[in-house]
Amino acid sequence: MRIGRIPYINCYPVYGALDRGLVKLDAQLVDGVPTDLNQQMARGQLDISVVSAVEYARDSGRYLLLPDLAISCDGPVRSVVLFSSRPASELSRRRVVVSRSSMTSVALLELLFEHVWHAQPQFVPGDAELSDIATDDSGDADARLVIGDAALLLGSRHRGRYPHAYDLGEVWKAWTGQPFVFAVWVAQRTTDIKTALVAHSALIESRNWGLAHLPELARQAQQATGVEEAVCRDYLSGLDYGLSYPHLAGLTEFYRRLLERGRIPNGTLTFLPAA
């Protein structure tokens, strides 16, 4: 069995116990940024993976959601941020670099520009790796959407030419009053159900261990990224790794708005059945 994993520190709480051998799972973990994992799932190259929320909606007939497992926030997320040289409402016809690593973050940004900031920028695909931020290769762009560990690093060290920062989770919460679900775990519908249930149980057990050991994971995150340990600890503790009714309400609200814009087909949320 092949299981996808995002190498960002936001996945540490879910995979930490698996990595340490504290929870056993007979599977190969495959690292990739969200768009890579989306593509591998779409091609049937992974059995189970964390994927962008938009990827599930794009092809919900192919996947089963794993219950009670997601990467969500109910307010600031800290790792999905629009950094801008001017207020977001003044970015019409301005160049905004958007990360090619996350479909969900870009889709959310487009909604916020349309409904909250009432601006129509020119979106330019780009990358948001730590090396890009260090050299600030955004050219004549006025803003850039940065995700993952790079957003934490930029927020704490390299603000420079970007005096305005908009946390997309926080803006969504202020706009809709709902939590926001950035990523979900899914299984191929063709995956053996018993095998998928074993994997789901292991992921939940590992997630529960991770949430009980956030200080240890924060130290690991600091060593991996150079972001201050306290920042990593606050970041991890501010995320939610469940998929409760409020999270599902936020997720369906996001899908409803994307459906209205013709960005996703109509579909339903279908979960892996209980054992």
Residue 236: give its domain's CATH number.
3.40.190.10
Q: Which residues contact 169 (CB under 8 A, 6 or more apart)?
A: 73, 75, 76, 77, 78, 80, 180, 182
Does residue 47 carry a pLDDT above 90?
yes
Q: Is residue 149 part of a domain?
A: yes
Count of the separate structural domains present in the chain: 2
Place of tokens 């936001």: 10
Checking 35-39 for CB contacts under 8 A at 24+ apart, the result is 35/100, 35/101, 35/102, 35/103, 37/4, 37/5, 37/6, 38/103
Residues 147 and 190 in one domain: no
Does residue 274 carry a pLDDT above 80?
no
H-helix or E-strand spanning residue 83: strand 80-84
Q: Is residue 142 part of a domain?
A: yes
Pairing state between β 180-188 and 63-73: antiparallel
Domain of 251, in residue numbers: 2-71+182-260
The last residue of one of the domains, among 176, 198, 217, is: 176
pTM of the model: 0.93
Whole-angstrom distance, CA of residue 148 vs CA of residue 182: 11
Average per-residue pLDDT in the chain? 92
At residue 134, the pLDDT reads: 43
pLDDT digits (tens, 9 = 90+) for 57-100: 999 999 999 999 999 999 999 999 999 999 999 999 999 999 87
Q: Which residues contact 237 (CB under 8 A, 6 or more apart)?
A: 214
Residues 62 and 90 in one domain: no
Place of tokens 């249930």: 197
Residues 146 and 234 in one domain: no
Q: Is residue 42 part of a domain?
A: yes
Band (156; pLDDT cuts 50, 70, 90): low
Residues 42 and 161 in one domain: no
Residues 28 and 155 in one domain: no
Band (275; pLDDT cuts 50, 70, 90): low
